């Protein structure tokens, strides 16, 4: 594989690129496809609700009686969680057979699990929009009976993946991956309980939100990232494994007690002020290590030209993870600052940046790495993929910057000067929130559409021609 | 270090962190329930249930958590009185014409429960959050009867139609920042008893006030020059 691939190194990347890759090694790796497909289709839907919410900031009476801001936001957030988790599950189905060197335990279970999630997803949207039911806590608003279905889907998933690995072998990567998946499922069970005391309710709610994105999801993402890096750069597996433990270990050591950065002002004891500050203040360290770890593989990567789009997304994910989660998160994590910025557009700027880079970009990288192999493609145009890449990333950075300016302004006028919330929102922030809408609607959204188009055309496009010598024909896309 | 040594260290460190976190969590939840929040009555719990079932939290923040679209409500029971809150939540348009808070079909009983819930939330020990503004405007610097009047102007919902020194709404009522210059105490009192007495075509509602409440408000308004 290596010998053939190096010869393609200097192929001009903007044109179509040959993929001298074999098809998937294990038939059941193709189970990733339905998950990645549904994930990719839900992504633009999530964007639609984001745009509606952002537009309601500018035109507050838009859909006021049919689809008000709270419904738009809950749809946006739930679809976010949903497409990301489906993407991570798709990546898991792809990588587990290759890493464990065996087929998935049961294909049927995988399809049943898929059906459970698909049905739950559709039902949740209906419940929010038509029946207007909600559990009322952001990100996890689905009502109890749907929570139960989600939990059942998760159990099927864990059994299927767990038995696959048990039948074969545990590698460090599989160990981290599986612990992360089991952990995030376990944490989700908290959503089945509700506490009468709002402070207690939110205390445990953060176990889901924070211990997901700064704990268990990080474990899953680190495993997927390690796998992607291994596939793209062919670095020594043992080096990757060791770094995986070190990075994930530090992430958890800082991230678990780091939950304290959400316990400053919600009625929890004041010892969380120093504890949250110190531990969460160190959270950027493992993220910085991860960036360094990714970048140092750049010089010796061998398949750069072939995996151009995937590689760009890997870089965007690593760098964006550091800036969006590490820098933007750190900027508001000390109590002295958080006291003023807590619950403002500053929070929203960080939430967007971190989620998009750490998880969204990684999943898209995984899609570009795995889809051609699942489809057995040896050739595919990368131009559309690169356009989608730049549109999405520039759009997201523009959105984040607009939100940051809006947030700092809001903090100053509302919190520091004590002006009225609505006056500040409508008269001072509208300009910046309009830019958010523009960056999101005019750059990010078209980028997402291009990505979906690329996904679909890679999925259903005709099998490319390969000349007898094995040298690919360069199609002009 | 070999891979398996790295793994064992990894597991050890994480188990230590989880145990430490669990111990602190148990302590926290105990302290939250026992000391840092008032007892949760049935009505407070019912109010919380309405708050969540209507998904108010994806527009509003409470304790700083939620949507950033609408006013933060942790201390709303301190800036608005129960009657105003109840009126606004059951029928936002009637209490504040032109508002963009949707009518979510909150019943009178649900509104009572929500008020109890907001009063409960405002008493949570939040380590002093939200912080007091650093810069005090002239409106926050006055004292005595005037400051009682200032509180009332907030609580009785005058600021949901009027603006004083940058605080409150931009309409439909005029800016009152300099009202003391324009209108004398008598006229102010008459206006508060019955706005139509002063301006027959007035759309300002006659807010029910006790005599002393009215006096405090007039006293406060007369200082705005
Ligand atoms: C991939 C990693 C991360 C993701 C996806 C993420 C996402 C988010 C989201 C969505 C919120 C808003 C939650 C809400 O609705 O209230 C949030 C809040 C916050 N995050 Fe992160 N985050 C990440 C990492 C970090 C890191 C590493 C730090 C600190 C160094 C950090 C610090 C904070 C703080 C302090 C808040 C609270 C903001 C407030 O008080 O309103 N985050 N994060
Ligand atoms: C056109 C693009 C988008 C627009 C216009 C948009 C708009 C919005 C709006 C209006 C909110 C509600 C914020 C509030 O309460 O005021 C929101 C929340 C959020 N969105 Fe987006 N969004 C977009 C894309 C994305 C993407 C691509 C991601 C991540 C992959 C994302 C992740 C989030 C998160 C995590 C929150 C919660 C933030 C918090 O609680 O602090 N959004 N978005
Ligand atoms: Fe956090």
Report d(CA A398, CA A440) in Å as an integer. Answer: 8
User: Which residue of B68, B136, B160 to mutate against A (max A Cβ within 10 Å)?
Assistant: B68
pLDDT of res. A384: 93
Residue that has been written with the tokens 């506490």 in this structure: A195
More confident residue, B64 or A2: B64
Write out pLDDT tens, residues B163-184.
888 778 877 889 998 998 888 8
Tell me what pLDDT residue A355 has. Answer: 98
Number of Cβ within a 10 Å radius of residue B14: 18
Residues B71-93 pLDDT 10s:
999 999 998 889 999 999 999 99
Q: Quickly state the pLDDT bin for B144 (edges 50, 70, 90).
A: low
Cβ atoms within 10 Å of A8's Cβ, excluding its own? 18
The 8-class DSSP code of residue B22 comes to H
| Token pair of A453 as six digits | 């188009």
Considering only the beta carbons, identify the residue of A64, A266, A347 that sits closest to B63.
Answer: A266
Mean pLDDT of B148-157: 84
CB neighbour list of residue A152: distance below 8 Å, 6 or more residues apart:
A116
B57, B58, B59, B65: residue to mutate for ligand 1 pocket, most atoms within 8 A of CB: B65
User: What's the token pair of residue A402?
Assistant: 């607009």
pLDDT of residue B55: 97
- Average pLDDT along chain B: 90
Provide mean pLDDT across the span B32-54: 97
Residue A461 has a pLDDT of: 66
Q: Which chain B residues are Cβ-neighbours of A416 within 8 angstroms?
A: 133-135
The atom number, within ligand 2, closest to the CA of A437 reads: 5
CA distances from residue A302 to A60, A98, A313, B177 in whole angstroms, order as listed: 52, 20, 17, 70
Contacts of A256 in chain B (CB under 8 A): 14, 17-18, 21
Q: Write down the pTM of the prediction.
A: 0.88
pLDDT of amino acid A13? 41
3-state SS record for chain A: CHHHHHCCCCCCCCCCEECCCCCCCCHHHHHHHHHHHHHHHHHHHHHHHHHHHHHHHHCCCCCCCCCCHHHHHHHHHHHHHHHHHHHHHHHHHHHHHHHHCCCCCCHHHHHHHHHHHHHHHHHHHHHHHCCCCCCCCCCCCCCHHHHHHHHHHHHHHHHHHHHHHHHCCCCHHHHHHHHHHHHHHHHHHHHHCCCCCHHHHHHHHHHHHHHHHHHHHHHHHHHHHHHHHHHHHCCCHHHHHHHHHHHHHHHHHHHHHHHHHHCCCCCCCCCHHHHHHHHHHCCHHHHHHHHHHHHCCCCCCCCCCCCHHHHHHHHHHHHHHHHHHHHHHHHCCCHHHHHHHCCCHHHHHHHHHHHHHHHHHHHHHHHHHHHHHHCCCCEECCHHHHHHHHHHHHHHHHHHHHHHHHHHHHHHHHHHCCCCHHHHHHHHHHHHHHHHHHHHHHHHHHHHHHHHHHHHHHHHCCCCCECCCCCECCCCC
- Which residues does ligand 1 sit against, CB inside 6 Å? A 138, 209, 213-214, 261, 280, 283-284, 325-326, 329-330, 332-333, 338, 342-343, 347, 350-351, 354-355, 358; B 64-65
Is B124's CB within 8 Å of A200's CB? Answer: no
Q: What is the ipTM of this complex?
A: 0.90
Predicted local distance difference test score (pLDDT) of residue B207: 86
Candidate of A42, A51, A76, A87 to mutate for ligand 2, largest count of ligand atoms within 8 Å of Cβ:
A76
Q: How far is CA A219 from CA A18, A224, A395, B34, in A?
A: 33, 9, 28, 36
List, in sequence order, every beta strand (DSSP E) within B57-207.
61-62, 65-66, 163-164, 167-168
Q: Following CA atoms A407, A409, A411, A417 in sequence, which dihedral angle do they give, to the nearest 10 degrees? A: -170
Q: How confident is the model at residue B210 (pLDDT cuts 50, 70, 90)?
A: confident
Average pLDDT over residues B18-31: 98
Q: pLDDT tens-digit profile of A361-412?
A: 999 999 999 998 888 877 678 889 999 999 999 999 999 999 999 999 999 9
User: What pLDDT score does B168 carry?
Assistant: 80
Please give the structure tokens belonging to residue B221: 């308004």
Which of B142 and B186 is assigned the larger pLDDT? B186
- Chain A contacts of B67, Cβ < 8 Å? 69-70, 73, 138
What string of pLDDT tens digits covers the 477 residues of chain A? 333 333 333 334 434 444 445 578 899 999 999 999 999 999 999 999 999 999 999 999 999 999 999 999 999 999 999 999 999 999 999 999 999 999 999 999 999 999 999 999 999 999 999 999 999 999 999 999 999 999 999 999 999 999 999 999 999 999 999 999 999 999 999 999 999 999 999 999 999 999 999 999 999 999 999 999 888 877 788 888 988 999 999 999 999 999 999 999 999 999 999 999 999 999 999 999 999 988 887 665 555 556 889 999 999 999 999 999 999 999 999 999 999 999 999 999 999 999 999 999 999 999 999 998 888 877 678 889 999 999 999 999 999 999 999 999 999 999 998 888 998 999 899 999 999 999 999 999 999 999 999 999 988 866 554 444 444 444 433
Tokens 């960080």, residue? A350
Cα(B32)–Cα(B24) distance, rounded to whole angstroms?
Answer: 12
A421 contacts on B by Cβ (under 8 Å): 70-72
Mutation pick for ligand 1 pocket among A209, A354, A355, A415 (CB with most ligand atoms within 8 Å): A354
At A180, list the tokens.
């992360």
Give me the pLDDT at residue A463, please: 55
According to DSSP, residue B165 is labeled T
Reduce the secondary structure of B82-114 to three states and give it as a string. Answer: HHHHHHHHHCHHHHCCCCCCCCCCCCHHHHHHH
A291 contacts A322 by C-beta, under 8 angstroms: yes
Collapsing DSSP to helix, strand or coil, B65 comes out as strand
Q: Which of A381-390, A445-454, B7-16, B200-209 has the highest mean pLDDT?
A: A445-454
Neighbours of ion ligand 3 (CB under 5 A): A 210, 214
Which pLDDT score is estimated for A21?
55
What DSSP character marks residue B223? T
Higher pLDDT, B201 or A280: A280
pLDDT in tens, A324-368: 999 999 999 999 999 999 999 999 999 999 999 999 999 999 999
């Amino acid at each position: 594989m290596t010998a053939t691939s190096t010869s393609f190194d200097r192929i001009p990347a903007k044109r179509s690129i040959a993929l001298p890759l074999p098809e998937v090694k294990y038939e059941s790796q193709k189970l990733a496809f339905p998950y990645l497909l549904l994930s990719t289709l839900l992504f633009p839907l999530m964007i639609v609700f984001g745009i509606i919410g952002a537009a309601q900031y500018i035109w507050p009476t838009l859909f006021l009686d049919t689809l008000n801001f709270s419904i738009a936001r809950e749809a946006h957030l739930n679809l976010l969680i949903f497409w990301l988790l489906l993407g991570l599950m798709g990546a898991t189905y792809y990588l587990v057979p290759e890493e464990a060197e065996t087929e998935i335990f049961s294909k049927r279970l995988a399809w049943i699990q898929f059906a459970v999630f698909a049905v739950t997803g559709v039902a949740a949207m209906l419940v929010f929009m038509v029946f207007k039911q909600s559990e009322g806590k952001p990100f996890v608003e689905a009502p109890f009976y749907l929570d139960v279905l989600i939990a059942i889907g998760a159990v099927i998933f864990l059994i299927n993946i767990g038995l696959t690995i048990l039948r074969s072998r545990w590698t460090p990567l599989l160990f981290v991956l599986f612990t992360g998946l089991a952990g995030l499922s376990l944490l989700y069970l908290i959503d089945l309980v509700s506490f009468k005391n709002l402070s207690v309710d939110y205390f445990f709610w953060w176990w889901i939100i924070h211990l997901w994105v700064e704990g268990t999801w990080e474990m899953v993402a680190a495993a997927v990232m390690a796998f992607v890096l291994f596939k793209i750069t062919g670095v020594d597996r043992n080096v990757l494994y060791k770094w995986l433990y070190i990075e994930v270990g530090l992430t958890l050591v800082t991230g678990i007690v780091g939950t304290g950065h959400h316990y400053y002002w919600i009625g929890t004891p004041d010892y969380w002020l120093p504890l949250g500050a110190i531990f969460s203040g160190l959270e950027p360290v493992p993220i910085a290590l991860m960036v360094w770890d990714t970048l140092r593989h750049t010089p010796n990567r061998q398949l750069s030209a072939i995996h151009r789009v995937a590689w760009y997304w890997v870089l965007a994910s690593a760098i964006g993870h550091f800036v969006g989660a590490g820098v933007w998160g750190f900027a508001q994590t000390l109590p002295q600052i958080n006291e003023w910025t807590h619950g403002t557009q500053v929070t929203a700027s960080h939430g967007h940046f971190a989620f998009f880079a750490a998880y969204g970009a990684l999943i898209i990288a995984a899609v570009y790495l795995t889809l051609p192999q699942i489809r057995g493609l040896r050739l595919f145009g990368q131009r559309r993929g690169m356009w989608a890449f730049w549109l999405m990333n520039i759009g997201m950075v523009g959105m984040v910057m607009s939100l940051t300016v809006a947030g700092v302004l809001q903090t100053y006028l509302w919190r520091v000067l004590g002006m009225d919330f609505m006056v500040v929102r409508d008269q001072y922030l509208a300009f910046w929130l309009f830019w958010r809408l523009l960056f999101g609607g005019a750059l990010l959204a078209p980028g997402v559409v291009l990505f979906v188009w690329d996904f679909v055309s890679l999925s259903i496009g005709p099998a490319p021609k390969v000349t007898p010598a094995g040298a690919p024909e360069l199609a002009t896309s | 270090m070999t891979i398996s040594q790295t793994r064992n260290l990894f597991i050890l460190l994480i188990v230590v962190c989880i145990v430490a976190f669990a111990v602190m969590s148990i302590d926290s939840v105990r302290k939250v329930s026992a000391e840092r929040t008032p007892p949760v009555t049935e009505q407070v719990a019912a109010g919380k249930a309405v708050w969540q079932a209507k998904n108010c939290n994806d527009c509003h923040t409470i304790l700083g958590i939620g949507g950033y679209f609408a006013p933060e409500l942790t201390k709303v029971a301190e800036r608005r009185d129960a009657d105003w809150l109840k009126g606004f939540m059951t029928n936002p348009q009637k209490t504040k014409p032109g508002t963009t808070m949707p009518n979510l079909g909150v019943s009178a009983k649900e509104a009572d429960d929500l008020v109890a819930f907001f009063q409960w939330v405002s008493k949570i020990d939040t380590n002093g959050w939200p912080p007091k503004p650093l810069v005090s405007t002239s409106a926050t610097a006055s004292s005595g009867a005037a400051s009682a009047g200032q509180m009332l102007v907030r609580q009785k919902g005058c600021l949901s139609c009027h603006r004083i020194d940058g605080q409150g709404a931009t309409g439909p009522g005029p800016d009152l920042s300099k009202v003391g210059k324009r209108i004398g105490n008598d006229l102010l009192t008459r206006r508060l008893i019955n706005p139509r007495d002063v301006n027959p075509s007035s759309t300002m509602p006659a807010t029910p006030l006790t005599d002393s409440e009215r006096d405090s408000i007039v006293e406060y308004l007369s200082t705005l020059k």
